[in-house]
């Protein structure tokens, strides 16, 4: 693969889409950051999917009511001020002055209410919050109320959720659509504008500075504070081959790589013109997701057997390789976090093959093949599925591993069809740690049947436990409840967590500056020397 075809296309040209869109004017010296992201952008609705590349896209063009700083503390973002009633059942939010959609229309309370409802229909944290909401109502153009049916301890934390799915605000006309269908209108109010005319999946994605955006006055921290855009244009250049991407960086043809392959770190470290930056300091966790609707994983004992087959080190060695960048950890809520609790029996850390085989026999496993989806174009995922296949076959299961690119997997995992009809039985993915630090934010713990994320576990016991956690405000009791929820997930076989890993972004030294540590790679505050 040659990078040269991208260079001519990316040489500082900014399409004049018009001042009404708040786009920086085209200039020969436009400051353009060229970045290689972990995946190509093919889906543009960050509420419809949890895929991180789409979350990253969301942060470019949308804004949020609340956000979290580098210490995970919640701060107002689009909100100017808020009040909580004495009984803690009514939250009143007033929007900041000067908030505009990219088409120049003002952001209103009705826009935000519709956006919350659309996001709350799909996101696991949003669903839990909305189950406590009595009503959302506009007071005037800039002020609205959220009224609860019962006290809920995570209102602001939910509205400030920093990663998938992020409660991005959209115009009412967009948010009022069916939440189960993808949007095509990308009008936001965020710091960048998506240049849809230049979007070429498989080649590049283009964002330009929103000249009408009014940042907050506070310094940026995490995804909170002032989102000051200091360049005219950002291009995400699609280079699926890791070595080609690194060569492009070393040659100065791109400016940064979100996450290079771990086995290429030594090459990058040898070049004095390259700087490593750990933007996701909490790291990540790999997970194996079961489809609870179809055989064989509609059987609880078979899910338990699959979990007993797991040895985390095999996954981590196959993908990351260097122990400096991974951690074997039996804790659902991430080792090193306040709610971390490692099971005493070593489940998920060390396999118990004989017990797994016995459970399969007890479950009456009839040899039904498990359709295991493998992502082939993301280096941090590609080798996971072959490990899962080997571990499941070791206990006597049959596995049909089907390979596809990540975006195809993302689309297919939403299908409830039987595996023989284009559905699936299992896949592996990765969560940034900030997504899984408690039982409400951890999407795959949602066990509300059809309302649960793909995989669709249906466990009334789990949902009651999660409700109990959501109402609790005492930290010690929260930790105790979290441990019980983890035990229930292992008993029910909700999903399996298969190890923690860490990575780093890289950029050209002396060229890129101002990259922020945050749950997602963000491009505000970033500067570039030269054009």
429 backbone dihedrals φ, ψ, rounded to 5°: -150, -170
How does pLDDT run across 281-326, given as a tens digit for each residue? 999 999 999 999 999 999 999 999 999 999 999 999 999 999 999 9
Torsion angles phi and psi, residue 136, rounded to 5: -120, 125
Average pLDDT, the chain: 94
* Predicted confidence (pLDDT) per residue in 85-116, tens digit: 999 999 999 999 999 999 999 999 999 999 99
| Per-residue pLDDT, 473 | 83
Average pLDDT over residues 259-269: 95
Q: What is the pLDDT of residue 531?
A: 52
Q: What tens digit of pLDDT does each residue of 154-163 get?
A: 999 999 999 9
Helix, strand, coil percentages in the chain from 3-state DSSP, rounded to 5 = 30, 20, 50
Q: 110 near 127, Cβ under 8 Å?
A: no
In the predicted structure, residue 10 carries a pLDDT above the cut 90:
no
Residues 459, 485: Cα–Cα separation, whole Å: 12
Answer whether 62's CB lies under 8 Å from 264's CB.
no
Q: How far apart are the first and last CA of the chain?
A: 25
CA–CA distance, 176 with 165 (Å, rounded to integer): 18
Q: Where residue 421 falls among pLDDT bands split at 50, 70, 90?
A: very high
Taking only the tens place, the pLDDT of each residue in 30-63 is 799 999 999 999 999 999 999 999 999 999 999 9
The distance of Cα 399 from the centroid of its chain, to the nearest Å, equals: 28
Q: What percent of the chain has pLDDT over 70?
A: 94
Sign of the CA dihedral running 131, 173, 106, 64: positive
CA distances from 337 to 282, 344, 436 (A): 9, 18, 10
Q: Is the confidence at residue 8, as pLDDT, over 80?
A: no
Residue 500 to residue 261: CA distance in whole angstroms: 16
- The helix/strand count (H/E) of the chain reads as 15, 21
**Structural contact between residues 195 and 15, judged by C-beta atoms closer than 8 angstroms:** yes
Instruction: Report yes or no: 425 and 436 within 8 Å, Cβ to Cβ.
Output: no
The answer to whether the CB of 426 falls within 8 A of the CB of 289 is yes
Give the closest residue to 93 by CA, choosing from 133, 134, 170, 147: 147
Question: In the CATH scheme, what is the code of domain 284-501?
Answer: 3.10.105.10
Each residue's pLDDT tens digit, 319-348: 999 999 999 999 999 999 999 999 999 999
* Least-confidence region, from 4-13, 167-176, 222-231, 414-423: 4-13
DSSP symbols for 451-472: GSSTT--B-HHHHHHHHHHHH-
Q: What is the pLDDT of residue 29?
A: 59
| H or E element in which residue 304 lies | helix 300-308
């Amino acid at each position: 693969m040659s990078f040269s075809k991208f260079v001519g296309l990316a040489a500082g040209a900014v399409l004049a889409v018009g001042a009404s869109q708040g786009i920086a004017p085209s200039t020969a010296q436009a400051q353009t950051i060229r970045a290689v992201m972990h995946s190509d952008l093919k889906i543009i609705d960050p509420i419809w999917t949890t895929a991180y590349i789409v979350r990253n896209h969301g942060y470019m063009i949308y804004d949020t009511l609340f956000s979290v700083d580098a210490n995970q503390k919640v701060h107002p973002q689009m909100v100017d001020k808020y009040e909580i009633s004495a009984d803690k059942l009514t939250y009143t939010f007033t929007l900041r002055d000067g908030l505009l959609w990219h088409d120049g229309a003002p952001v209103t309370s009705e826009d935000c209410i519709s956006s919350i409802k659309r996001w709350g229909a799909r996101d696991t944290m949003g669903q839990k919050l909305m189950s406590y909401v009595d009503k959302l109502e506009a007071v005037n153009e800039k002020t609205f109320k959220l009224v609860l049916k019962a006290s809920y301890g995570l209102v602001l934390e939910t509205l400030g959720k920093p990663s998938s799915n992020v409660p991005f605000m959209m115009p009412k006309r967009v948010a009022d659509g069916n939440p189960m269908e993808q949007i095509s209108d990308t009008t936001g109010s965020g710091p960048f504008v998506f240049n849809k005319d230049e979007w070429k999946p498989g080649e590049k994605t283009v964002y330009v500075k929103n000249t009408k955006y009014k940042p907050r006055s506070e310094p940026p921290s995490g995804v909170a504070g002032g989102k000051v855009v200091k360049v005219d244009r950002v291009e995400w250049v699609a280079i699926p081959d890791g070595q080609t991407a690194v060569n492009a960086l070393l040659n100065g043809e791109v400016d940064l790589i979100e996450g290079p392959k771990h086995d290429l770190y030594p090459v990058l470290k040898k070049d004095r013109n390259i700087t490593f930056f750990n933007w996701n300091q909490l790291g990540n966790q790999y997970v194996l997701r079961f489809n609870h609707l179809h055989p064989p994983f509609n059987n609880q004992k078979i899910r338990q057997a699959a979990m007993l087959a797991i040895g985390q080190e095999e996954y981590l060695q196959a993908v990351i390789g260097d122990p400096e960048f991974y951690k074997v950890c039996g804790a659902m809520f991430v080792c090193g976090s306040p709610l971390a609790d490692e099971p005493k029996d070593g489940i998920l850390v060390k396999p118990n093959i004989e017990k797994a085989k016995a459970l399969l026999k007890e479950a009456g496993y009839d040899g039904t093949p498990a359709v295991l989806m493998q992502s082939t174009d993301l280096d941090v995922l590609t080798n996971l599925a072959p490990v899962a296949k080997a571990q499941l076959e070791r206990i006597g299961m049959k596995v049909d591993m089907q390979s596809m690119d990540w975006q195809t997997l993302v689309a297919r995992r939403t299908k409830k069809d039987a595996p023989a009809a284009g559905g699936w039985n299992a896949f592996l993915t990765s969560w940034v740690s900030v997504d899984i630090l408690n039982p409400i934010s951890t999407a795959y713990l949602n066990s509300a049947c059809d309302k649960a994320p793909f995989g669709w576990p249906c466990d009334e016991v789990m949902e009651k436990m999660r409700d109990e956690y959501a109402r609790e405000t005492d930290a010690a009791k929260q930790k105790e409840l979290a441990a019980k929820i983890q035990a229930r997930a292992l008993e029910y076989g909700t999903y399996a967590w298969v190890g923690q890993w860490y990575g780093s972004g890289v950029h050209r030294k002396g060229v890129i500056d101002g990259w922020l540590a945050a749950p997602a790679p963000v491009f505000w505050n970033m500067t570039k020397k030269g054009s």
